[in-house]
Chain A
Amino acid sequence: DAGVTQSPTHLIKTRGQQVTLRCSPKSGHDTVSWYQQALGQGPQFIFQYYEEEERQRGNFPDRFSGHQFPNYSSELNVNALLLGDSALYLCASSPVPSSSYEQYFGPGTRLTVT
């Protein structure tokens, strides 16, 4: 049973460019959340998707957007990249969007903006 998978593993982009990160949830999970972890910090919640809709959103600008597909996989898009967007982007999945359930994390995508 595959866990949460993310692609790509690493990515280098230039300021002003756009990037798309991908996540496949753990089998049987239909809820996907995205987190940003800057160096030396704890992960920060970006948003959560369930039933192909954004259900919750953290304190991130509209440059950050996402999508969830019918197979529950998800994309995170970041437009007009800034140097400060350099971080490890983590995807987490859970069986339902309920606070009682454990969230499982993927290995992350390391984004470097130059």
Chain B
Amino acid sequence: KQEVTQIPAALSVPEGENLVLNCSFTDSAIYNLQWFRQDPGKGLTSLLLIQSSQREQTSGRLNASLDKSSGRSTLYIAASQPGDSATYLCAVTGANSKLTFGKGITLSVRP
């Protein structure tokens, strides 16, 4: 059974700091990995999708990497801003196209 872990559960950083959010998964037989952003009480916004054959994806200040063999992914946020404050979830897709999510990391960026 696939398990996805995100540690720590919460993170607080000063504005302008570069930061890394970690995600680990137990079964390396994945098709892809997605990073999502969730604002309080809202739905999920997809940030980046990395296919299993890829090593990384970039979008603006965000960069996500994937090491399938070790079961790890990182989301790098450059020059963090207060508007980046949200919960960040990673999810992996298995052969049955089911997404398995971590519990998320709640990020607070202090002005």
Contact = CB atoms under 8 A, between A and B. Distances in A.
A103 B99 contact: yes
Contacts of B96: 56, 99
B93 interface: yes
30 contacts: A6-B43, A33-B97, A40-B103, A41-B103, A42-B4, A42-B101, A42-B103, A43-B91, A44-B101, A48-B97, A56-B96, A56-B98, A58-B98, A88-B43, A90-B43, A92-B99, A94-B97, A97-B97, A98-B97, A99-B93, A99-B96, A99-B97, A100-B51, A102-B34, A102-B49, A103-B34, A103-B93, A105-B44, A105-B46, A110-B41
Nearest to A4: B43
Given A6-B43, A42-B4, 15 more contacts: A40-B103, A45-B98, A45-B100, A48-B97, A56-B96, A88-B41, A90-B43, A94-B97, A97-B97, A99-B94, A100-B32, A103-B34, A103-B99, A105-B45, A106-B43
B102 A99 contact: no
B86 to A, nearest CB: 14
Interface of B: 4, 31-32, 34, 36, 41-46, 49, 51, 89, 91, 93-104
Contacts of A101: 97
Nearest to A40: B103
A103 B103 CA distance: 18
Nearest to B1: A59
Interface string A13-28: 0000000000000000
B98 A48 contact: yes
Contact of B101 (A43, A98, A110): A43
